[in-house]
Chain A
Amino acid sequence: MALPRHLKNGLTPLEIEFLAENELIEIEAAIDTRTDLELLSGTLPALKPLRTNKVPLWMAISLKKKHKCNIRVPAWMTVEALTRTLKEEETNDVRFSYMPYHYMEIAQLLLENAMDDIPSADATRTLLKDLREARQSKARQGVHSLGESYLQMDNIGLMEINEIRPFFTKAFFEIQKLRPAVAGNPNNNNAYDYDHYGNSSLSMDGRYGGANTTDFDGKASYSSSTIPESSRRFQSTQGSRMN
């Protein structure tokens, strides 16, 4: 086959790592290339010893393996920054705290290939693990707010998306199937339609479309007792967004 089966469901973790390797990172080279680097993806200024250069991560790792450079740990990956982020992540149970889109992959690659450039690598590793777990459980909470037309998840990393992708896309697709069944109800008249509608879709819309779209407070349920409340919520908060 043109594309093996395991590649058909989105990107694989290795491919995501590949994408992350295009991100730029600062290095201190130990070589002098004398000429600028004429890459297909653009020109990089010549590498000089004792000067910091911004290069793609794949290049930094390739040079590192030959002991030709030291990699500067990105600001967000220091112990202080991670401690702060973790705290924020734990206190705010509504949204993800800001992390670079490829943070997991970059951190993983650096810990693997440039251990000696990371001060207190063990602490960093532990913090990253805690952070990841906090975010993971938040992402899972998101499934409560998964509705029929959209769900917003700002600041989530690509690798994190990939973890929840199979379940979320399937669930999202199944929820949609419920809609025509309601719209096609033969007893439709306006008032009835609205109620019914509220029951099946607005009760979910209310939560993610209204109050705050990254709001994973999730008390989603199909239970009919939520109809009046959530329909109202939808009406009163539609279009007003907090972020």
Chain B
Amino acid sequence: MADDDDFKFADYTDRISASREPDVEAIDPVEDVAHLTQAWVDERAAPELLQYQEQCIQRLLAKVEEQTLVVEELDPRNDTSVILSILYQTELERVKFVLRSYLRTRISKIERFCAYVLNDGPTRKRLSRAELNYAENYSRATRQHYQNSFLSSLPQSLQSQDEAVFSRKLSMVSQPILDEAVFCRITEDIGDYQLDEDETVELEKGQIYIFKYRSVRTLLHKRQIHLI
């Protein structure tokens, strides 16, 4: 754990390990690219960290490697092969871009809500092993840094770094704001859905809404809606 300080994308993908929590339902491998793309968009839009797409990403990484070999074997003297090679490589880059941006979005949320992510059971379970590792190291490093650079010269009573003062609203731990508004697209007919105690709305495929993130969280976890 201690040697994880230089964090590189390559190391990161190497260390993604066997599934910690199986995906809610299996995805058709053909859909992997589309699925990851949506997972990326969701992750960008959602205030909290979502479930890490372990299996999908593992399969994609294997496919990317395979495809890279295929591209290398294409004959550069044949015109058609050259075109194929360009197309294949373009797609490879596109997939890698999504993957990188997906991981970076997650890391940025981990950094922002570090203490919360580590202490909140359900959120913690949504991390990959490498992400958990990163969160722990990040937490340790920042705490130590604050302690060394100025907290140590303050009175003991002011040195705490994760105290909830008076109420949750004033907690030192930053948390995702679940009441944030999100735009979403309904991907299957859901029927009447209870938003709040006194609000029901009939959701049909293809509709677009603005909702409070909190009220559609479960639908997102069940993949019945897409965030946009």
Enumerate chain A interface residues (CB-CB to B < 8 A).
1-3, 7-8, 10-11, 15, 18-19, 21-22, 31-35, 37-42, 58-59, 62-63, 66, 68, 101, 146, 149-156, 158, 161, 165, 168-169, 172-173, 176, 205, 209, 213, 239, 241
Chain A residue nearest to B192 in the complex (CB):
A239
With both beta carbons as reference points, the residue of chain B lying nearest to A165 in the complex is identified as B183
Inter-chain CB contacts under 8 Å: number: 127
A-B contact pairs, 9 of them (CB 8 A): A2-B104, A3-B105, A33-B84, A34-B80, A41-B30, A42-B33, A59-B91, A149-B212, A168-B210
Q: Find out whether the CB atom of B33 lies under 8 angstroms from the CB atom of A41.
A: yes
Closest to A8 in B: B108
Main secondary structure of the interface of B (DSSP, over half): helix
A40 x B64 contact (CB < 8 A): yes
A68 in contact with B209 (CB, 8 Å): no
B206 within 8 A of A: yes
What's the least CB distance linking A159 to chain B, in Å?
Answer: 11
Chain A residues near B101: list those with CB within 8 A.
Answer: 15
Q: Which residues of B have CB within 8 Å of A101?
A: 185
Q: Which residues of A contact B67 (CB under 8 A)?
A: 40
Is the beta-carbon distance between B211 and A150 smaller than 8 angstroms? Answer: yes
- B162 within 8 A of partner (CB): no
Given contact pairs A11-B41, A168-B181, A62 touches B208 in the complex (Cβ within 8 A): no
Q: Are B37 and A59 in contact, CB atoms less than 8 angstroms apart?
A: no
Within residues 143 to 192 of chain B, which ones have a CB less than 8 A from any CB in chain A?
A: 179-183, 185
- Return the contact of A154 from the options B88, B182, B208 (Cβ within 8 A): B208
Residues of A within 8 A of B105 (CB): 2-3, 7
Shortest distance between the CB of A188 and any CB in chain B (Å): 15
B47 to chain A, nearest CB (A): 10
Residues from chain A with a CB closer than 8 A to the CB of B228 are: 158, 161
